[in-house]
Structure 1
Amino acid sequence: MTVPAQHPASGPNDAVSLFAQCFHALADNVERVVKGKRPTVELALTCLFAEGHLLVEDVPGTGKTTLARCLAASLEAEFARVQFTPDLLPSDITGVTVYRQNTGTFDFLPGPVFANVVLGDEINRASPKTQSAMLEVMEERRVTADGRTHPVPRPFMVLATQNSVDMGGTYPLPEAQLDRFLMRVTVGYPDHASEVAVLNGSAAGATPESLSTIASAHHIAEFIQVAQQIQVAEQLYDYIVRITAATRELPDVRLGASPRGSVALARAVRVRAASQGRPYALPEDVKALAEPVLAHRLILTPEAELSGRTGADVVAQVLATVPVPHAGGARV
């Protein structure tokens, strides 16, 4: 199945309907291999259409890398994988300028970051210098080498993974760098039925390479524009800002979500609304995405961490206390 591109003459509702078709066709395709993880798959797709980056953190063997490979296989787009190791250099990611003796010129050889979907496997195993080079490209979407700027292709998404165990010899991402990721999610162990389905799928040859292509990079770029046109009422903007501001005022939080968190949440909310076939956003979109968008941006006090509090707990507390605007007022 291939999703058709939006026709230029289509109305806004037709465009949103096509967006929803594409979104769910991609999710269905990925789920042929990644079983029982529909919410995580949809969050990854939300990052893609919001032009954000995703950090997947979990124990080994839960399908973090498989998720990225399935997403890339579903797209007719450039895919690159970087296996992060302690000896990886920044130029191994961004590229290098070489001298051509036969022509007497210096040419830039682009690195793996010049792709539409970049998998950064075990990003916490690279040195801080290499991590910074990767995160700089994520934020600026360009590489500067020898005074020349080289933009990365659009759409552009980095899907980074890191293990939450086996931390020996790793360099955990600083909180300021975690803020560059639109979302952080965990995959988690599948339930019994889903794990059985994984075994059956493996026996039947269900692999990322066996997946069909659903959409091209050109389609994704068009649908990104559709998502950006989703209407968000002033009441909903106010709700988003109240949520992020509330994270800065709790005694358990040493550093709350920045305005970048508010912007990221608004971008993700538009995509979720479009994936539901709606040309407008609702408070339920905000509540569904607040935790994966904001939790990793919070720095808790040492006392809160010792008591077992997490960023997700703080976001849940905020959502329970900040008044929700009337659903009718969220529609423009």
Structure 2
Amino acid sequence: LMSINEKIYELPVRLKIVEGDYNVKVWLPGFQPIERKIHVYKEMKRLTFKLEEKKYRLLLGFHGEVEIDGKNIGRTPTAVYVKEGVHILKFCSRFGTWYKMICVTGDSTVTVDTRKGSLVLPDVGKVLVNGVEVVTPAILNLDPGSYTVDLLGTKEKVNIESGKVYIIPSGFGVLTVTSLPDGLDFSLNGKKLLTPIYLYPVLPGEKEVTFEKGCAIWKKNVNITEGAISFLRLELPLYNIVKVTDIRNCEIIVDGERVEEVASLNIGFHLLHLKCGDKIVLTPFCYTGNVRDLPFPLGGELR
């Protein structure tokens, strides 16, 4: 979103605006907001803001291989930076493998204690853990030991071990779905969701995941195992396209960036801007990763 002199717009936006000074703010969840005063000139055609991701520091006191959300970050890192939200950490050493779930919020630095275990509770309202009321959904990092969980009137004894994950109710699994980039729409067995997301409890078995970007659609299957954490990362391919055209003396601009010889495009919708002398053509098009010819209104084709 963007506000200009306190009037809010959803980006991208095309505005007719008079020359002068404006107070501008741009913000997006999970990113550092931008606030500045700008002067708009008559000749100004485009205004672009680059937002930096808001990240938080994790302090890890562990010796061995570490993975975060299925991605290996190296051996014995003292500190790493992650985005706000739920993350699954995997610790591997010669003594075994441990999992830990953490929820990173507004604190700039989070210290991870690998000696504790994790208890995962579904979204069922209020739950009692050793008589203490917990509002769900929740991920509790607990000291090793025995705990009594009162879930909807049913009591269950659980044994929390150091570095282990215990999922309530039993008989279910956990699915973490991330994507590059974030904010990808996808469907899990027909249910619409948005990445990144942490899903629990999930019934074991094979699930169909469908995700799309613009006009391109992919399908993947993921197997959910009882009492285990499954990772699924959805990545949209980035393709290089080469400008090949028999049209001379034409300027080609894609999404505001001039193409000299090669442009890198994500799958999805883009805006092609063609300038040949005093003739200008704007052509929206959908890129699916395949070679295609675009009809050129001034004659010829652009591949």
Same fold at TM > 0.5 = no
TM-score, normalised on structure 2?
A: 0.29
- Asked which structure has the greater CA Rg, the reply is 2
Where relative contact order (Cα < 8 A, 6+ residues apart) is larger, the structure is 1
Higher strand proportion (structure 1 or 2): 2
TM-score, normalised on structure 1?
A: 0.28
Higher helix proportion (structure 1 or 2): 1
